[in-house]
Amino acid sequence: MTKPPTLRAPAPAAAPARPGPSTPARRRPRPRHPALLSRAGVTAVLGLAALYTLLPMLWLVLSSTKSRQDLFGTNGFAPGRRFALLENLGHLFSTDHGIYLRWIGNTVLYAGVGSLLATVFAVAAGYAFDKLAFPGKEKLFAFALLGVMVPGTALAVPLYLLAARVGLVNTFWGVFLPGLVFPFGVYLARVFSAAYVPDEVLEAARMDGAGEFRAFCRIAFPMLAPAFVTIFLFQFTQIWNSFFLPLVMLSDKDLFPVNLGLYVWYSSALSQGHPQDYLLAVVGSLVSVAPLVVLFLMLQRFWKSGMTAGAVK
């Protein structure tokens, strides 16, 4: 007879060898960060960016403190005379019966009132795309995004042709009405609405009997205050710096925005041999930057909170 095979238990696995005192454990080499990602590299890049931004502004301030002779006869970054800036400002505001002040007023109307209305429309449209349900919502939103992809300079000639059809060429409304449309603001408003306005709050308001318009005005709109300020600053800066559309649309000097007026002075200084207009363009450029700086400093608290919306959950 054959004996049945006996089963043997598997041998225990050998314990991993521990490094002795004479054999130190191997350490994994730490990954080396690229030089651009180091603290010194980031600081250097930010310093170059700040220098690139501030140098033109420094040149503008120093050049505004010089007379016409010093402007062309000295170094661009050399300081001017003590009271030359006040004299240049007085000459700027008195030239052509104060035409520069009229240009500033026109720009405030174009950019200030236009940006305010454009922001209201953009916030309302973005809220509707986010919170309301209606047929073709996503298709309409995709159509609105097409306006973000098309640059404003490409739309200047079509807008001029449309304005010529309805008789708005060389009028205030020919420049004011296009500024009321801000597709990028609609996109931002939808993103901010999704981040700032909870659906539960709106459902509670509807259960209490509030209509859609009242829920938007009383509940959603106060929550979207940082979004409103952010979109307003974007549109205000865009209209304030707008140049090509007024150049195509306007021919009356009394309707010019400040950028177009400064371009006229600069062109006359180069082409018609009027060097005094060059100094007017330099000092006028400095004055035209001041409202933007003041506005950003006043609204920077709301703008910072709006730009970081949705960054932390």
pLDDT digits (tens, 9 = 90+) for 262-297: 999 988 887 776 777 888 999 999 999 988 888 888
Structural domain for 275, as ranges: 88-307
Distance of CA 62 to the CA centre of its chain: 27
Residue 160 pLDDT more than 90? yes
The answer to whether residue 74 is domain-embedded is no
Residue 4 pLDDT more than 70? no
The confidence score (pLDDT) of residue 275 equals: 73
Task: Copy the structure tokens of residue 20.
Answer: 């002795």
277-293 burial: b if 16+ Cβ within 10 Å, else e? bbbbbbbbbbbbeebee
Which of 25-34, 150-159, 176-185: highest mean pLDDT?
A: 176-185
* Across 11-31, average pLDDT: 54
Instruction: pLDDT band for 311, please (50, 70, 90 cuts).
Output: very low
The answer to whether residue 63 is domain-embedded is no
122-142 burial: b if 16+ Cβ within 10 Å, else e? bbbbbbbbbbeeeeeeeeebe
The confidence score (pLDDT) of residue 44 equals: 86
The confidence score (pLDDT) of residue 7 equals: 47
Higher-confidence residue: 91 or 310? 91
The answer to whether residue 73 is domain-embedded is no
The answer to whether residue 192 is domain-embedded is yes
State the DSSP H helix or E strand holding residue 162, giving kind and residue range, or none if neither.
helix 152-166
Task: Copy the structure tokens of residue 308.
Answer: 């970081």
Which of 165-179, 207-221, 271-285: highest mean pLDDT?
A: 165-179
The confidence score (pLDDT) of residue 313 equals: 46
The answer to whether residue 22 is domain-embedded is no
* Across 101-121, average pLDDT: 95
The answer to whether residue 38 is domain-embedded is no
The answer to whether residue 163 is domain-embedded is yes
The confidence score (pLDDT) of residue 104 equals: 95
The answer to whether residue 3 is domain-embedded is no
The confidence score (pLDDT) of residue 1 equals: 46
What proportion of the chain, given as a percentage, has pLDDT over 90?
A: 39
CB 179 within 8 A of CB 118: yes
Residue 249 pLDDT more than 90? yes
Of 28-42, 117-131, 195-209, give the lowest mean pLDDT range.
28-42
The confidence score (pLDDT) of residue 189 equals: 93
CA–CA gap between residue 2 and residue 8 (Å, rounded): 18
Instruction: pLDDT band for 46, please (50, 70, 90 cuts).
Output: confident
Residue 121 pLDDT more than 50? yes
Higher-confidence residue: 104 or 153? 104
Number of domains composing the chain? 1
Instruction: pLDDT band for 312, please (50, 70, 90 cuts).
Output: very low
- The rounded mean pLDDT for the chain is 83
CATH assignment of the domain containing 158: 1.10.3720.10
Return the closest-CA partner of residue 99 out of 250, 251, 261: 261
* DSSP letter (8 states) at residue 38: S
CB 74 within 8 A of CB 266: no
Give the residue carrying structure tokens 């939103």: 141
Instruction: pLDDT band for 231, please (50, 70, 90 cuts).
Output: very high
Q: What does the DSSP assignment read for 47-107?
A: HHHHHHHHHHHHHHHHHHTS-HHHHHHS-TTS---SSHHHHHHHHHHHGGGTHHHHHHHHH
